[in-house]
Amino acid sequence: METTLLVRVEEKECRTKFDLGRSGYGIFSTILETMKLIAQLQLKPTEEQAKALKETLQVANAACDFLSGLAWDNQTFGQFALHKIGYKGARAQFGLASQVIVRCVSKVADAYKLDPKVKRTFKPLGAISYDDRILTYQLDKGQVSIWTTVGRIKIPFVCGEHQRGLLETRQGESDLCFFKGKFFLLATCNVEEPPTDCKGGIIGCDFGIVDIVTTSEGKSYSGEKVKALRKKLREHRRRLQKCGTKSAKRRLKKAAKRQERFVRDQNHCISKELVKDAKASQKALSLENLKGIRERTGLNKEMRWLMGNWAFAQLRGFVEYKARKAGVVCVTVDARNTSRTCHKCGHCEKANRKSQKHFLCLDCGHYENADANASHNIAHRGETLRARVNAPIVSNRVPTGGRGLGTSPLAC
């Protein structure tokens, strides 16, 4: 089986990524670009300024509903085509600035990219995008100059040192959001990626519920705290919902998103440790692709609840972006049969896995923790993929919109 190596030149910085899909083939691409992260700022408006911001969100989203109606009636969902039929009418009816209408058109067009078969509507206080024509950052003064329905207003903002550092490389659009009575700006920032360096091999990472991650290096991160919190909050919600009083509803609102925040914090901590270990040992990380696992597995009610609360996609995303930022290569491999295959002899059989915890190969008799065995298989698949993509095979096809092909020394 041959593997195609495509190299596209776009900018100065370099990103490398491996991916092994369901077919078993590995595709390695080197795309020369910068990584983008989001800096979150909290605005501190006065009462009058907050009223202006809220009114701006409401009018802009009403304009989005108007444009969405035109798009649906005319079955015109492209941004430029929608701009042509809707710009003048939206400008005249809602009195918004020219560039705000342009951003509304873009928002509607992006919404229809998801599914043009469903008419799109927008929440009155949904987020809207701003660009440099209608939003200016004044970092030295700690404030922004933002367009509203009452004109330009200057609003101070607060953020952490990390966020302020990201703002130095801000580029492109920013989103104005209203969440739990507070206004936030989400700014897109460029982050330079260091060159990748993985001379020391590869670390396999097995994702699970009992142990959130088990690595081929012998480390494991228990999921007991997360599981205990989930059960505690589930019972807490049941009691409050059964009670149904105003006080119970206030407590339900206060507890909302608590589990999500805790799980996100755990995933951030684990991903940080994984990338730190890989960086120190100059190794790559091999992650399993678990997309669709909930649909593939038939489980009882309790296990379905656990699987539904399993944030493996979030953890994988955290690992991937932290790895790129640290210059660590990430390999994504197919997860099928990794828990049933003996990493010593390669024998694959469902009966090899005696239980959630124990693995015993029926062919060679190898016994090991099941998650540890799976992590070795994931590492092996990552090594196999790395061997494939290092082969000097270059496609003759020129990618659309590219400036030609080239070759690049691979770090691994």
Based on the fold, state whether residues 365 and 283 are members of the same structural domain.
Answer: yes
Quick one: tokens of 235?
Answer: 């019972």
What pLDDT was estimated at residue 176? 96
Per-residue pLDDT at 400 exceeds 60: no
What is the pairing mode between strands 151-158 and 35-43? antiparallel
What pLDDT was estimated at residue 80? 95
Based on the fold, state whether residues 334 and 296 are members of the same structural domain.
Answer: yes
The answer as to whether 230 is a domain residue is no
What pLDDT was estimated at residue 389? 62
What pLDDT was estimated at residue 356? 80
Based on the fold, state whether residues 214 and 173 are members of the same structural domain.
Answer: no
pLDDT band, residue 21 (cuts 50/70/90): very low
For the stretch 301-311, pLDDT in tens is 666 666 667 78
For the stretch 347-377, pLDDT in tens is 888 888 888 888 888 888 888 888 888 888 8
The answer as to whether 396 is a domain residue is no
Which one is predicted more confidently, 21 or 338? 338
Q: How far apart are CA 73 and CA 76, in angstroms?
A: 8
Q: How far apart are CA 253 and CA 255, in angstroms?
A: 5
Per-residue pLDDT at 26 exceeds 80: no
What pLDDT was estimated at residue 118? 92
What pLDDT was estimated at residue 191? 84
DSSP string, 321-337: HHHHHHT--EEEEE-TT
CB atoms within 10 A of CB 102: 20
pLDDT band, residue 23 (cuts 50/70/90): very low
Mean pLDDT across the stretch 252-273?
A: 88
Based on the fold, state whether residues 165 and 214 are members of the same structural domain.
Answer: no
pLDDT band, residue 410 (cuts 50/70/90): very low
Based on the fold, state whether residues 82 and 215 are members of the same structural domain.
Answer: no
Based on the fold, state whether residues 52 and 142 are members of the same structural domain.
Answer: yes
Q: How far apart are CA 158 and CA 40, in angstroms?
A: 9
The answer as to whether 148 is a domain residue is yes
Cβ contacts of residue 25 below 8 Å, gap of 6+?
1, 3
The answer as to whether 272 is a domain residue is yes
Per-residue pLDDT at 287 exceeds 80: yes
Based on the fold, state whether residues 57 and 16 are members of the same structural domain.
Answer: no
Based on the fold, state whether residues 331 and 268 are members of the same structural domain.
Answer: yes
The CATH number of whichever domain residue 352 belongs to comes to 3.30.420
- Cβ(394)–Cβ(7) under 8 Å? yes
Per-residue pLDDT at 331 exceeds 90: no
Which one is predicted more confidently, 336 or 2? 336
Based on the fold, state whether residues 174 and 207 are members of the same structural domain.
Answer: no
The answer as to whether 23 is a domain residue is yes
Per-residue pLDDT at 17 exceeds 60: no
| 114 CB-side CA count, 13 A | 7
Number of domains in the chain: 2
What pLDDT was estimated at residue 33? 52
Domain range enclosing 105: 38-191
Per-residue pLDDT at 252 exceeds 80: yes
What pLDDT was estimated at residue 224? 86
Based on the fold, state whether residues 273 and 172 are members of the same structural domain.
Answer: no
The answer as to whether 252 is a domain residue is no
pLDDT band, residue 337 (cuts 50/70/90): confident
Which one is predicted more confidently, 164 or 30? 164
Per-residue pLDDT at 28 exceeds 50: no
Mean pLDDT of the chain: 82
Based on the fold, state whether residues 81 and 147 are members of the same structural domain.
Answer: yes
What pLDDT was estimated at residue 25? 37
Mean pLDDT across the stretch 87-111?
A: 94
The answer as to whether 409 is a domain residue is no
Q: For the chain, state the CA radius of gyration.
A: 25
For the stretch 31-50, pLDDT in tens is 345 788 899 999 999 999 99
The answer as to whether 238 is a domain residue is no
Among 290, 293, 291, 223, which residue's Cα sits nearest to residue 262? 223
Per-residue pLDDT at 408 exceeds 70: no
Q: How far apart are CA 353 and CA 338, in angstroms?
A: 11
pLDDT band, residue 257 (cuts 50/70/90): confident
Whole-prediction pTM value? 0.73
What pLDDT was estimated at residue 19? 44
Based on the fold, state whether residues 321 and 174 are members of the same structural domain.
Answer: no
